[in-house]
Amino acid sequence: MPTFHISSKKGDFSDTILMPGDPIRAKYIAKNYLDDFKKINETRLMLAYTGYYKNKKISVMSHGIGIPSSALYVKELISYYNVKKIIRIGTCGAIRHDIKLRDIVISLGASTDSKFNRIRFNFHDYAAIADFEMTYNAFLTAKKNNIKVHIGNFFTTDSFYTDDSMLNILNKYNIIGIDMETAGIYSVAAEFKAKALSICTVSDHIFKKEFISSKDRESSFNDMITLSLETALLV
């Protein structure tokens, strides 16, 4: 077995990968956006595909939910499969009133309630940040394609059902998206000298108690997928 959790051969992955949380979404992206794609992993049903987008070789693989799952896949992809550029394409919660369901948010950095980064950073506060060039390219691509994006600080939580007392603090500190992976993905990418960026669609508004149905999710992801693939062409 090449790594603990991935059964692909060396060379099966592109150096550039899109990573949704959900394996079904990985399959959706491969089927609808990639030419000549082939499935390269199904261990634990964490589906991975490699194909071509506008003649560029691109891989897509799900990373599961939470820092423990996403961080181990990212680590194995970088250190064994030579992946160098990672774009997480996920969903997130929102709390700011001007950020709406289906809006696209890009994580410039990610605060967290997880101890994952502290443990690895000798219990100091690690500033988990996106790769600048990828962020810049995503911003330019969004402008060029008339896709509205919010860019700012995320909060990565270990607990989907976040304690209510935290929500006002997140709002006060101008957090634009709440997810469960970005802070871990950014620190693992930094440790192994790869580039990473998280682009998310807002799937639920926590204060307004609104969410998009799993059926509606599919269509609202298309702008984010296009933005991510076009960004991947530039990095």
Q: How far is the CB of 175 from ligand HPA (least distance, A)?
A: 11
Q: Which residue is nearest to ligand HPA (CB)?
A: 93
* Measured CA distances, 15 to 30, 32, 41, 103, 108 (Å): 16, 21, 16, 28, 22
Q: How far is the CB of 55 from ligand HPA (least distance, A)?
A: 33
Residues 96, 113: Cα–Cα separation, whole Å: 19
Please indicate whether residue 204 is annotated as part of the active site. yes
* Reduced 3-state DSSP string for 128-176: EECCHHHHHHHHHHHHHCCCCEEEEEEEECCCCCCCHHHHHHHHHCCEE
Q: How far is the CB of 216 from ligand HPA (least distance, A)?
A: 14
- The DSSP secondary-structure symbol of 63 reads -
Q: How far is the CB of 170 from ligand HPA (least distance, A)?
A: 10
Catalytic residue, candidates 12, 36, 204, 216: 204
Q: Which is nearer to ligand HPA, 92 or 196 (CB)?
A: 92
Residues that bind ligand HPA (CB under 6 A): 91-93, 157, 160, 178-180, 203-204, 206
By C-alpha distance, which of 161, 159, 150 is closest to 200?
Answer: 150
Q: Which is nearer to ligand HPA, 34 or 212 (CB)?
A: 212
Q: Which is nearer to ligand HPA, 195 or 205 (CB)?
A: 205
Residues 12, 138: Cα–Cα separation, whole Å: 26
Q: Which is nearer to ligand HPA, 112 or 157 (CB)?
A: 157
Active site amino acids: 204
